[in-house]
Amino acid sequence: MIKQLLSQLNFKNIFYNLSLLLAFMTPLSWKISRLIIILLIVTKIVQFDFSKLFQTIRQSKFLIVLLLFLTYQFLTLLWTETPYQESHIFIRSYLLWFIVPVLVSVLDISMVKKLITSFLFGMAVSEMIAYGMYFGFWTIHGHGSDYPSPFMHHTSYSIFMAFTAIILLNRLYASYYTLKEKIIMGIFFTTVTGNLFISQGRIGQLAFAVAILATTLLHFKLRIKTFVSSLVIIAAIFFTAYQVSPMFQQRLQMATQNVNQIKEGDLNSSWGIRVAYLILGEDIIKDNLLFGVGLEDTKKEGMQYLKNNPYHFPQDVINFMHCSYHFHNQFLMTTLQGGLVGLFLLLALFYYLFTLPIKDPELKRLSILFGVIFLVSSISDPFLMYEQTRALFLLFSSLFVAASLQKKEETL
């Protein structure tokens, strides 16, 4: 009875429609995105086609390293002192990473660009809502023009906007889109870039600047003219943003003030706190160099090292560290949790992302630019731990790996 019922299901259409919905909802709702991820994994289990899943994993070095990274993260629970009752949140979050091999095993190469377009539609909806907040048409969670980030923290939203702008710039540089398509994409690029600079996410703005340089070099090769042209583009965008966005002016002036404070030894600022975490993390890593302190013992270890404040941090910095659950740096967090072994596996993951054998030139460039954005932004925050940016990473990693395997299945 059950086998007969399952045989009548069109799993290909189910996976395709759920994937489209996931791409659309990723910028809009983490809760719905998480539900779709769970549904996709459960559907794969119900389909009971594990031979294809294992074959897909064997074909991709990225997937093999991803599974090694996940396995190692779970192994660190063996030497963590935190009981399971407190670790289950971390465990559940890493279980969601299994969506990557599941998606790769079910996605046709013809679906990849459709899912990227679905993501862009989701970002367009998010952007319209954000502009409505900025111009005072409505508020969300009590925020309006002062904080036009509708569905997530401003730092995470800045990564979404930076990557969206780069998707569009990558397409604008390509030669196989029509003039009408490029005009529409150019308008979208302008509005999403404007949205990026009216928000408070400085790390997204920095990642965007680096990615513009990388995009130009990927399309026009490494020449002095290309390098200078990309710098002119970046300077023009940032100069315009500074002139028209009071928020960007304020955040840029604050960044300059932060740097001056750090030079004077005052770490009581946004960037200063990150420096303090580096100082604190260095000592913890020295004592747990190879295997780290475990998946969820970073805060507990940090509080132990902060006893009696041997680093002479300002009291406001100490108070912040007592409230925060991470060290504001993905590479630092991974090294603290899993030592040099964990850091090696994370860097290997990025290496295989950069070297995916994707034949489609647009997708190949975009996979590199995606990696650039996450590498740069991970210096500021552990974005692979944040719910929304983790979903973004898992979704597009899946798309790029699927493209690299060049599935030859019948298009939908």
> Using one digit for the tens of pLDDT, what is the confidence trace for 253-309?
888 888 888 888 888 888 889 999 999 999 999 999 999 888 777 878 888 888 877
pLDDT at 193: 93
pLDDT at 410: 39
What are the phi and psi torsion angles at 266 (to 5°)? -95, 115
Which residues in 174-195 are b (16+ Cβ under 10 Å) and which e? eeeeeeeebeebeebbebbbbb
Helices (H), 8-98: 11-25, 30-47, 50-59, 61-75, 84-95
Angle of helix 387-405 relative to helix 109-134, nearest 10 degrees, comes to 150
pLDDT at 408: 42
DSSP, res 410: P
DSSP, res 140: B
pLDDT at 91: 79
pLDDT in tens, the chain (412 residues): 556 666 667 788 999 999 999 999 999 999 999 999 999 999 999 887 788 889 999 999 999 999 999 999 989 888 877 666 556 677 788 899 999 999 999 998 889 999 999 999 999 999 999 999 999 999 988 888 888 999 999 999 999 999 999 999 999 988 888 999 999 999 999 999 999 988 878 899 999 999 999 998 898 877 777 778 778 888 888 888 878 777 788 878 888 888 888 888 888 888 889 999 999 999 999 999 999 888 777 878 888 888 877 888 888 888 888 888 788 899 999 999 999 999 999 999 999 999 999 999 999 999 999 999 999 999 999 999 999 999 999 999 999 999 999 754 433 3
What are the phi and psi torsion angles at 82 (to 5°)? -75, 130
pLDDT at 341: 97
For the chain, helix, strand, coil in percent to 5 are 75, 0, 25
pLDDT at 159: 96
pLDDT at 239: 84
Q: Residues near 356 by Cβ (< 8 Å), separated by ≥ 6?
A: 62, 364, 367, 400, 401, 403, 404
The encoded tokens of residue 256 equal 């300059």
Residue 335, amino acid: T
Between CA 272 and CA 237, with CA 376 as vertex, the angle to 5 degrees is: 95
Round to whole Å and give the CA distance between 181 and 164. Answer: 16
pLDDT at 85: 55
Q: Residues near 229 by Cβ (< 8 Å), separated by ≥ 6?
A: 216, 220
Round to whole Å and give the CA distance between 181 and 178. Answer: 5
Which neighbouring-strand residues pair with 140? 143
Find, among 353, 323, 329, 322, the residue nearest to 343 by Cα. Answer: 329
Instruction: Give domain limits for the chain.
Output: 2-48+107-258+356-405
pLDDT at 318: 86
pLDDT at 7: 63
Positive or negative, the CA dihedral 331, 332, 337, 339 is positive
